[in-house]
Structure 1
Amino acid sequence: MAATSAMEGIPATALRSVLHRVGQAVERSGRSPDQVKVVAVSKTKPVSVLREVYDAGHRCFGENYVQELIDKAPQLPEDIEWHFIGNLQSNKVKVLLNGVPNLYMVESVDDQKIANHLDRAVGNLGRTPLKVLVQVNTSGETSKFGVEPSECVDLAKHVCQNCPNLEFCGLMTIGMLDYTSTPENFKTLANCRSEVCRTLGLKEEQCELSMGMSSDFELAIEMGSSIVRIGSTIFGAREYPKKQSN
């Protein structure tokens, strides 16, 4: 075992540490480990680094950009469960679905238009229904995507009643970057879930909460999150291309 650990790369070691911390937070929340999923968010990282995390046994990955996901997915094993977690434009829907046959979930459905586009595209492909989450803007920031909390029930109902090729699975939020209102954001999303479940006749365990990232995933889990999206804590700081000087 010691020899294996010595051979592990930094991302694999970091993943192991994250999963341990997740396990502790899950225990504090009174749930079992299989009730919380870790999405390893690999934005800007090369396929070789993702492969290290895959080889360490992880199968759930997330990307923010369509082009990056359709570039990476064909280079990695088909048993990966891909989550798209960025803002999705209507003109990118077909490209995404065609380019990533093993796309598992779109976490960022934020209006009826994108839900309808996804529904039609999935139907045309004849693939199994696509799992989706409704993105809620819990912080009220104009720079954030997502429906207002007061509108999440209507969008969830639209997906359930009018999009037969989509499977409504729950709600997602992106908190404030400075984390000043993180607990309030998490409480807001949990309250939204209660409203959605009451309206649609769902049990709360049937409605996922995707909230919590590298800096606050433990708190998110303790407050009910069932999906956490962890990037830099596993992969290190993002690596954006340097601008060329003239």
Structure 2
Amino acid sequence: MAAPAVENAAVSALRSVMLRFRQAAERSGRNPGQVRVVAVSKTKPVSLIRQVYDAGHRRFGENYVQEILDKAPQLPEDIEWHFVGHLQSNKAKLLLAGVPNLALVEGVDNEKIANHLDRAVSNLGRNPLKVLVQVNTSGEVSKSGIDPSGCVELAKHVKFQCPSLEFSGLMTIGMPDYTSTPENFRMLSECRAQVCKALDMAEEHCELSMGMSGDFEQAIEMGSTNVRIGSTIFGPRDYAKKQPD
């Protein structure tokens, strides 16, 4: 009998991540079904995404508009795409028109982009689009995201002034070396408490998207409902192949 084929490295990595994910969810006192894993596939080819899809994963994220526009039409329609990070307002209509199965925009960081997304959704006749408000919890000038002091007002704007958007929660990126991970996560949780009080919204209905390859287990233990994992699943990114946004 022939030896079984060597399992694809990304599929093997996904299985390891999902085991760690389930264990972290259980440590947090939650059912794993209350937390989601988004496989962030930026700079990775469609063939590699397809292998992870064939292993049963359905949630994928991209950071660049041109990449998701190129990849989404080549992949199955039941993928739940997330656009992660800063989105230029002039790309909102292009993104929504080109990715009918876009499930969530994780990166609304000002009223202008919220308004552009709202108009684009309305003009395309799509169902309301779920969005997360991006908060700059690390205070880095290079990072997108609204200052924590402005998260309530931006959430109010999305909730009450953008009828074609569905305010679904908050997201943060945090420090690249994870040195301030607990502080960043605590700050986002505090922002959620303020937002939910202002919107008369139950905290369990307000997402917290925080945690990436290096800190997703801690993020889950601290209340994250959405972790974004790229290099741990797909391997190091090749930024020489990055598509212009």
Give the Cα separation in 1 of the matches to 2:53 and 2:239: 22
Check 1:91–1:14 CA distance in 2 against 1; reply closer, same or farther (3 A cut). Answer: same
Which residue matches 1:77?
76
RMSD: 1.3
In structure 2, the residue matched to 1:184 is 183
Name stretches of at least 5 consecutive residues in structure 1 with no aligned partner: none
How many residue pairs get aligned? The number is 240
Matching of residues 224-235 of structure 1 within 5 Å? 224-235=223-234
Deviation at 1:201, TM superposition (A): 0.8
| 1:122 alignment counterpart | 121
Aligned mates of 2:3, 2:215 — CA distance in 1: 30
**Secondary structure of the residue that 1:131 maps to in structure 2?**
strand
CA change 1:5–1:177 in 2 (3 A) is farther
Aligned ranges 1:56-75 → 2 under 5 Å: 56-75=55-74
State the alpha-carbon separation in 1 of the partners of residues 145 and 240 from structure 2: 28
**Deviation (angstroms), 1:179:** 1.1
Sort the Cα spacing of 1:4 and 1:20 in 2 relative to 1 into closer, same or farther, 3 A: farther
Q: Report the counterpart of residue 197 of structure 2 in structure 1.
A: 198
Task: Tell me which residue corresponds to 2:155.
Answer: 156
Which whole-Å CA distance do the structure 1 matches of 2:18 and 2:204 have between them?
Answer: 21
1:37 corresponds in structure 2 to 36
How far is the alpha carbon of 1:5 from its aligned partner? Answer: 7.8
Q: Percent identity?
A: 73
Q: Aligned partners of 2:127, 2:11: CA distance in 1, in Å?
A: 32
- Secondary structure of 2:240 counterpart: coil
- Displacement of 1:19 in angstroms is 0.4
Matched, 1:142 2:146: no
Structure 2 CA distance for aligned equivalents of residues 152 and 240 of structure 1:
31
Partner in structure 2 of residue 208 of structure 1: 207
Match of 1:218 in 2: 217
**Counterparts of 2:187 and 2:145 in 1: how far apart (Å)?**
13
Tell whether the 8 Å contact from 2:85 to 2:134 is kept in structure 1 after alignment.
Answer: no
